[in-house]
Structure 1
Amino acid sequence: MTAAAAAMDRMYRRQRHIYDASRKFYLLGRDAAIDALKPPAGGSVLEIGCGTGRNLVRIASTYPQARCFGLDVSAAMLDTAARSVSRAGSSARIRLACADATDFDPLALFGRPAFDRIVISYALSMIPPWEAVLAESAGYLAPGGELHVVDFGGQEGLPGPFRAVLNRWLAAFSVTPRMTLADAMAGIAASQGFVCTVRQRYRGYSVHGVLSRRAGLD
């Protein structure tokens, strides 16, 4: 077990049981990002940092023709995810794997080198080498594919006192908003010939960025 896996297991061994009930109040914008995925019929969707499986279950329900995949570094969270997937009756359509977002091989894990849609939801803010993860994830997009990232935003429109309290509270959970996320996504788009769109939500509380790979790119 890697240090990252051990740390996440320690953090979520108990939290995972109340994670979905508590996080719905402040992990804003997840469902809007899912609604924007719109994978092609029979397309593939990978979630990096799938946690409890909450998003994957919703994706499978929203897009019944999609093939869904999820990976997470925490075995404890994946145990909860497997239970959630089973309760939803989606075990045949959702495959899970234990892997580190900073170093994984989708071909070895899932038998697929690329995906039509990739989702990273509130995970980059907990991964120190987040820029490298972002760039590597974009490399696993199939032609015409899209990488959707939703996470804490730059908070530009929020009152100063609220921002200070929010960031102190997030730090207690090893969460660091990536203030340069939009710039990082734009840089990847420029270097790889992708299209980048970034939308701030809730006065900058959250951000939804999309990297789109043109269908003609090999």
Structure 2
Amino acid sequence: MNTSPHAALMDGVYRRQKHIYDATRKYFLLGRDRMIGRLDAPSAGAVLELGCGTGRNLILANRHYPHARFYGLDISSEMLATAEKATEKAGFTAQLVRADASTFCARDLFDRSSFDRIFISYALSMIPAWEETIDHALGHLPPGGSLHIVDFGQQERLPDWFRSSLFEWIRRFHVSPREELFEFIDEKAKNIGAISSCEPLFRGYAWHAVVQMA
């Protein structure tokens, strides 16, 4: 079990938030459904979500790709408990574990070493070791596999007052949008011979990045 300070912090944040998380976040965690709809998960393929939270994204992914196999990890035991109940209620099986997205051992946790699709939805902005998380995810992709990320952007085409207000509000939940995300993704893809695509959504409100392995 992960007992790191960050794990304890996330449990504290979500102990009460988990009850209203999905109902409230749907209004400002934009781009999640778009990303999931474009995963193009192969039949019987393995799909892993890092920072799976309440299980909401895994449930939607299962509806899109009912023949895929689903896995999820989160550092918060509070969120995992919610995800387990939600996936069970939705009537499908996902293997869920508590672990750190930047250091997890897939072989020990899931008895496998790679996944056809890995996705991260609004979690990198809450993971201190976000660069290591991306590195770690890329290391678990086979040839033809892909990593998909959606998260807060830099609001580059939105009014300054909106950007400052949003950033001030989300900081209360220990969220820090990663200004260097696109640059980091492009450089990593180039170094491993993969193809990357990075695009801002909703005038920069959200950023969407994909790394496709050769």
Residue in structure 1 matching 2:73, options 57, 71, 74: 71
Counterpart for residue 14 of structure 1: 16
- Written as runs of structure 1 = structure 2, the 5 A alignment for 1:164-175 is 164-175=164-175
Q: Which residue of the partner structure matches residue 125 of structure 1? A: 125
Q: Per-residue displacement from partner, 1:36-75 (whole Å, max 9, x unpaired)?
A: 0011111110000000000001111110110000000001
Residue 6 (structure 1) shift: 0.8
Q: CA deviation at 1:174?
A: 0.6
Match for residue 140 of structure 2?
140
The aligned residue for residue 102 of structure 1 is 102
CA displacement at 1:102 relative to structure 2: 1.9
Gaps of 5+ in 2: none
Cα distance, 1:209 vs. partner? 0.2
Query: Runs of 4+ in structure 1 displaced over 6 angstroms?
Result: none
Deviation at 1:4, TM superposition (A): 1.4
Deviation (angstroms), 1:200: 0.8
The SS at the match of 2:116 is strand
Pairwise CA RMSD of aligned residues?
A: 0.7
Residue type at the aligned position of 2:29: L
Counterparts of 1:4 and 1:173, CA distance in 2: 13
Distance in 2 of aligned mates of 1:178 and 1:36: 22
Aligned to 2:192: 192
Q: Residue type matched to 1:39 in 2?
A: A
Name the SS for the 2:136 alignment partner. Answer: helix
| Structure 1: gaps spanning 5 or more residues | none
Structure 1 equivalent of residue 50 of structure 2? 48
**Alignment TM-score, normalising by the size of structure 1:** 0.96
Identity score, percent: 49
When the two structures are superposed, what TM-score results if normalisation uses the length of structure 2? 0.98
Shift of 1:127: 1.0
